[in-house]
Chains A and B, each alone.
Chain A
Amino acid sequence: MDASPGPSNAAGSPRGLSARSRLRHARPAILRELDGEAVLYDPAAHEAIYLNAAAMDIWRAADGAADVESVVVHRAASSGVDIEECRADVVHVVDAMTRHGWLKWEASAAK
């Protein structure tokens, strides 16, 4: 997870996203949970998105205080999935949800 040129680096990380980046919601949205998955709906923009269990976990963890690495650790602990796989999942979700305007991240002040 580094800041290599282009929209994504070789590992698939969005440009500028680092382990210390703090994740937050980019817009208000209503979450409707069903059986561990969810639909997220933005009534103002009139858009919706489907989140599987992993994506829902990541959305919920993105409270503006949590950084990427802590979300990865939380996800690995809660799902029992290998941490590297969780890391790839988180990067993928953050990338996709950022591109569609649901999530945003801020670089951590502490380097």
Chain B
Amino acid sequence: MSTNVAVIGASMTQFGQREAWIQGLLAEAGAACLDDAGVAPDAVEHLYVSNMASGEFEGQTGVPNALAHDLDCLPAYTQRVDQTSSSGGAGMYAAWQSVASGASEMTLLVGGEKMTHRSTGEATDVIASLTHPVEYKHGVTLPSFAGLTARRYLDRYDAPRESLGKVAVKNHENGVDNPHAQFQKEVDLETVLESPIVADPLRLYDFCPITDGSAALMFCPESVAKEYTDEYALVSGVGGATDTHVVHERAEPTVMGGVVESGKEAYEMSGYGPEDIDVAELHDMFTILEFLQMEGLDFAEQGAAWELVEEGKTECDGELPINTSGGLKSKGHPLGASGVAQGYEIYKQVLGEAGPRQVDADVGLACNVGGFGNCVITTIMEAGA
């Protein structure tokens, strides 16, 4: 049996348009996490950096090495984790593995991305470069995949367009209470539905923004956690899966196989099922993704997630609050940071430290999606004894 893996500290920077570059953003979150956990830098044995594209965005590579120096963590083993938009979730998986295997007794995970110095078109192209050549040459983007999928979903399940808009309204409302969120303001449904078209039928407010930011988590064996604190979370389950990157080849465009398979793994490892989850952070890079993950993780029947949204069941006072942090939609989406920031929110929720965002939660789930469901990590956390 592998070691129980605990999380004993968490941090995240302000998300939004930041002056700092990638190295500075990572160092800010990393130092804050060391402080939050009460861990001395020289106690860190493994340091993982979740980042998709610092080379492409700013011509900066070797960031884990630089970060270890900046945080005074030398000679800790360092490794970059790139799994596109799910780099953060993959970092949590890597950090869990490092501790569960016995390879490290103190692992710091820092995720971050610097994007806002690029134009929307340039940033979109960096992300779209993950697509297959036969799709890339047609100018496909991740937002256009979302438009294609949303039209199929609305048509196939006879869902109202407004239900997607209500995801944006909900997550913006949640983001008001998150001081780290890029947008701390509400939007009404009319504003969402009348905003400019980006990928028909989806409009501007169906999409997350381009964001700078960083987040961090500290992992160690549960036995070591007890030496530091009485307040820690446990990684109850984690699962990762990959689907084809040739998106048009998938049997059904509204089903994300990576979500289904990673969720199954995480549920099996944790011993929990969808009915046991009290709070979830889902990868709402686009509003339609919240529906697809709710269904892939068995929170809703196939084609019925929109009904739960219409009934208010995913709001903070609903049966299953989703994206209490504001989600990527409101909080922002600095690619490599997002999965770690999801973990930050679940950690805070299960420890009862989420402040005005706090919901009644003993067990929480984070689902981090790379590409358009190309690679997915699902993580389940609960409060330690």
Is chain B a partner of chain A in the same complex?
no
Residues of A within 8 A of B (CB): none
Residues of B within 8 A of A (CB): none
